[in-house]
């Protein structure tokens, strides 16, 4: 696993060490996302493009969590 800067540090350097901006990501996803970002600091999704913040309650609208830990 990698630690990903959800909001890319290349674009938002002031968030580089904020705990809420650091998330686990598999190496493939982390490298695929890289510094891509759809909008400004508060816009995770613009139109049909973007990323769901894994710390946001909105995540539960897209994924189901099971008692055994599977998502």
Going residue by residue through the chain, which has 71 residues, state the pLDDT in tens, using 9 for 90 and above: 999 999 999 999 999 999 999 999 999 999 999 999 999 999 999 999 999 888 888 788 888 889 998 88
Give me the phi and psi of 10, to 5 degrees please: -65, -30
- The pTM score is 0.81
Predicted local confidence at residue 30, as pLDDT? 94
> 3-state DSSP call for residue 49?
strand
């Amino acid at each position: 696993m990698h630690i990903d800067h959800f909001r890319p540090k290349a674009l938002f350097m002031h968030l580089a060490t904020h705990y809420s901006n650091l998330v686990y990501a598999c190496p493939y996803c982390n490298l695929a996302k890289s510094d891509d970002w759809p909008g400004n600091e508060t816009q995770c999704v613009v139109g049909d493009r973007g990323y769901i913040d894994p710390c946001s309650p909105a995540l539960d609208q897209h994924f189901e969590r099971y008692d055994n830990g599977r998502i």
